[in-house]
């Protein structure tokens, strides 16, 4: 299967680019996703080696700030089983998990963040899911052309 490309969002107070840089091997698990469409991407489509753009949301400015890769594909999200965790999901069982997570590794911080404003004004990115009305997914596919354009913008 060909390499795919993704964009994942996190709020800096939950997980930031600095947290990525401090993580062992600059790697973390991506847990807590509680949207069925995003879950299906994680469970069914995201594979080891796929490229990931790391996007910081709910901050000023919102922007793509890093380049990552998937280093472990989908496995059950352990937070769904923990009654103390805010992502606890009572109907999930270890025999029948509902939610999945993956491991992702930071490859590099972007030289220049690519802000949402820059993305919205770039005609090559006008069809990107990130800028579509009503799309609030924290995990979404992007095209190779969108990936290349964002990398290009980050180097200017």
Q: Is the pLDDT of residue 154 over 70?
A: yes
This prediction has a pTM of 0.94
Residue 1 has a pLDDT of 63
Report domain extents, the chain: 5-149
Q: Choose between 85 and 156: higher pLDDT.
A: 85
pLDDT band at 156 (very low <50, low <70, confident <90, very high): confident
Report the percentage of the chain scoring pLDDT > 70. Answer: 99
Q: Can you list the positions of beta strands (E) in the chain?
A: 5-10, 27-30, 51-56, 63-76, 100-115, 139-142
Contacts of 90 (CB under 8 A, 6+ apart): none
Please give the average per-residue pLDDT across 146-153, as a whole number.
Answer: 97
Q: Quick one: 5-149 is in which CATH superfamily?
A: ph1033 like domains (3.10.590.10)
Residue 48 near residue 94 (C-beta atoms within 8 A): no
CB 4 within 8 A of CB 50: yes
User: pLDDT value at position 136?
Assistant: 84
Structure tokens at 97: 């998990």
Model confidence over 92-143: pLDDT tens digits? 999 999 999 999 999 999 999 999 999 999 999 999 999 998 888 999 999 9
Q: How confident is the model at residue 30 (pLDDT cuts 50, 70, 90)?
A: very high
**What residue spans of the chain are helical by DSSP H?**
17-22, 36-40, 116-120, 144-154
Instruction: Note the pLDDT of residue 22.
Output: 96
């Amino acid at each position: 299967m060909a390499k795919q490309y993704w964009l994942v969002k996190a709020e800096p107070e939950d997980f930031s680019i600095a947290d990525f840089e401090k993580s062992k091997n600059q790697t973390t698990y991506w847990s807590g996703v509680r949207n069925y469409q995003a879950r299906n991407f994680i469970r069914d489509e995201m594979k080891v080696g796929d490229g990931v753009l790391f996007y910081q949301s709910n901050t000023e400015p919102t922007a793509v700030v890093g380049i990552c890769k998937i280093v472990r594909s989908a496995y059950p999200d352990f937070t769904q089983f923990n009654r103390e965790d805010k992502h606890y999901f009572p109907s999930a069982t270890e025999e029948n998990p509902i939610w999945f997570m993956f491991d992702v590794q930071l490859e590099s911080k972007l030289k220049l963040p690519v802000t949402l404003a820059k993305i919205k004004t770039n005609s090559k990115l006008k069809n990107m899911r990130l800028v579509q009305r009503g799309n609030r997914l924290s995990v979404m596919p992007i095209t190779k052309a969108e990936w290349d354009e964002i990398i290009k913008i980050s180097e200017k």
